[in-house]
Each structure stands twice: as structure tokens, then as C-alpha cells.
Amino acid sequence: MARIFVYGTLKRGQPNHFRMLDKSIGEAHLLASAITMEKFPLVIAGEYNIPFLLNLPSLGHRVHGELYRVDEQMLSFLDDFENTPTMYQRTPLTLAVEEWLGQGKDEEEMSAVGDVTEAFVYSTTTYKPEWVSLPHYKSYDSCGPHGLEYVRYRDT
């Protein structure tokens, strides 16, 4: 088991969320909505309008996303899907929980709102230098006012 913070296309309502629901590739269980403790530049880059959290703490904003518990099978699917470690690297991150969303009072992770917790995130240090000057977002939405809708580029 591992915990993953997703901030991009894997969030609910975003174009790759269906992968988190696909039991044939593993289990993902939504635990909470959360925000990064540190600021990071969240940009939308490249010809496919892909969201990237640049691993450059203190620039940008605290970024909103969702915290999941995933099994080993889903984790290895996601590592592969996110092209780790070439495009993204999976790194540990500190988060402030906004709202616990898991069901059942026995969730071992659940406690008071405002909790500080740790999870993995797919961020990147292997970005083009000019990406730092792209607009920085607080919360990713593929269909946001930026007009940079995510382009699906593979069938997997």
C-alpha cells in the first residue's frame, strides 16, 4: 500500500480519473482533499497540454488535489502511465488535509481536519527551463479558463 497525492488529470472530474476506478489495474481508494504545504509551480505544458508540478518549492502556489491509498498493482500502473522516472519522478510530499472523504470510521488515516500528512506525488525536475515562466495554477482543471484542454495521446 502507498499514498498518492494527485493534482492533475487523475483527479475526480478530470480526463484520466477513470484509470483510478479501473479494478483490472489495481485499487485506489479516495481518502481526502488536500493542499501542498509548500508552494510549487503547477504549469500546463507541451503540445498535449499536460499538467506538471515542477519540483521547485517556494515558487508558485500551494496546490490543491486529492489523496488516495493505492495498492502495489495500481502504483506500478501509475508509475508506468506517468512515464516515471523520465517524464515525472515519484517523490514524497507534505500535505495539509482539507477534508477527509474516506468512508467508515475505522479509516486508520482519518483524523481532524487540518492534519499534516505525507504522500507521494508525480512531480518533475526534468522539465524545459522555459516552463517555469508559464502561468502557475492553484488547482488544475483541464477545461479551465486557460483554454488548454488536455489532449489524450495514447490508448493505454
What minimum distance in Å lies between the beta carbon of 37 and ligand PCA?
17
Adjacent-strand bridge partners of 67 = 5, 32
| Cβ nearer to ligand PCA, comparing 45 with 110 | 45
- 77 is an interface residue for ligand PCA by CB under 6 A: no
Nine cell digits for residue 121: 506525488
| Alpha-carbon gap, residue 18 to 152, rounded angstroms | 13
77 in the Ramachandran plot: left (φ > 0), alpha (ψ -120 to 50) or beta? alpha
Give the count of beta carbons closer than 10 Å to the beta carbon of residue 124. 22
What minimum distance in Å lies between the beta carbon of 64 and ligand PCA?
11
Question: Which residues, numbered 17-76, are part of the site for ligand PCA (CB under 6 A)?
Answer: 51
- 127 is an interface residue for ligand PCA by CB under 6 A: no
What minimum distance in Å lies between the beta carbon of 115 and ligand PCA?
20
Residues that bind ligand PCA (CB under 6 A): 6-11, 51, 82, 122
